[in-house]
Each structure stands twice: as structure tokens, then as C-alpha cells.
Amino acid sequence: MKADLHMHALPHSADALSGAGEMMEAAKRKGVGAVAFTDHGYLRGKMTAGDLLGMGEMHGVRVFPGVEIETHRATILVYGLVPDLDRQFGEEEVDTLGLLHWVRDQGGVSVVAHLTRSFLPGREEELLTGAFDWWLRYVDALELTWNGDHSGHWAIEEVAERLGKRVVRGSDAHYHRLVGRGCCEIPDMREPRELVEWFKTV
């Protein structure tokens, strides 16, 4: 099943241009069977469990809960936390390792995102020599974000293989026309727990 596990929608991502319904319609039209809304800084567990899951059924698209969190070292995507957990992030600087440990304790998974865009340019050799392994080893996967530039993807793939981490792709779509430009293949699944187990199995 094709999945776009990194997208944003109004109203919870202020920089998005499309609502969740438009994003799901686009996913269905493009043959994307599952999506994750990873809005900025807000884990909207209750809304995902209710409104978004209902909308997903209406549009014929599986919906998984997620959140994108800016930390002092990198952007982290989080999946699989309990459905009734609501939490606001970003009101103060978020410690990367503290977040990764908290996510694991809560039964979720973490994915480092935006490496090629905001972190990696010019630092490929550092990445390859293991300079960042001391914190990357605590994430569950590394993301290849679609941004039209694939120049650093080779380095991310090499590091993921060395650390035994899964590589995933996501569109980071903020607009319905961009949904599905970065996708990965996942097994046919419905529950967040299944997605968590898939991330952990390399």
C-alpha cells in the first residue's frame, strides 16, 4: 500500500494551504492508500481518533496520527502515540534526546526529517564518518523528504544501512497538489500499533 507519511493541513499547520479533506481527496485520486498528518508542534491525538479517522473512512484513505517537532538538533516526526494523548510542543526549546526517549517510553516511533534541506547540505562527510551517530541511533528511521533535490539522499541511505534503520519517504506536502510526491510502500494495515511495528522492522 502506498503511503504518504508526512503532510500538513489547515488549521493546525498555519503554513498549509489545504484542509485535511482536500489532502485526502488528492491522496485517493493519486492512489495513495494511507496518510499521516504531521502538523507542526501539536499532537492532535483526540482529533485524529475522531474527526480525521472518520474523514479517512469517507475518502477511502487510512489515517495515522503523527506530529512534526522542531528540536535543537533536528526536525523529528513522531508516530504511533496513544490516540487520546494531546500535547503541545515548541513553547520552549525541545531537547532532541529527551524527546526521543519520551517517544519510546510512550510506545511511539521517531523519524528524523528534513536532513537534506535543513541539516545536511555540506555535511555529508560528517554524517558518513559517524559524527552524529550518538543521537541518530535513538531514532527509528531516517526520512528522504521530497523537495526536488536528491543530492544528499545517498548519504542518508548509507547511514541508515550502517545503523540498521529503516529509510522512509514523505512529501512534506502543505498543498493538496503535492500529496504523494514522496511515498513509501507499507503493508496493508489499519492500526497505529501496526505502523509502529513496521518502522521497527528493517
Domain that holds residue 164: 2-200
Q: Are 182 and 170 in contact (CB under 8 A)?
A: yes
Query: pLDDT digit string (tens) for 162-193?
Result: 999 999 988 999 899 999 998 999 999 988 88
- List the grid coordinates of 76: 523529528
Q: Which grid coordinates are listed for 126? A: 560528517
In 3D, which of 40, 41, 42, 4 has the Cα closest to residue 23? Answer: 4
Overall pTM surpassing 0.85 (yes/no): yes
Q: What is the CATH number of the domain that holds 86?
A: 3.20.20.140
For 97-144, how does the pLDDT look when each residue is reduced to its tens digit (9 = 90+)? Answer: 999 999 999 899 999 998 766 565 667 677 777 878 888 999 999 998
Q: Compute the average pLDDT of residues 17-29.
A: 93
Please answer whether residues 199 and 111 qualify as being in contact, where contact means their C-beta atoms are separated by less than 8 angstroms: yes
pLDDT at position 72 is: 84
Cβ atoms of 81 and 46 closer than 8 Å: no
How many domains, the chain? 1
Query: What is the rounded CA–CA span in Å between residue 175 and residue 164?
Result: 33
According to the model, what pLDDT value does residue 149 have? Answer: 58
pLDDT for residue 52 is more than 80 = no
Considering only residues 18 and 54, tell me which one the structure prediction assigns the higher pLDDT. Answer: 18
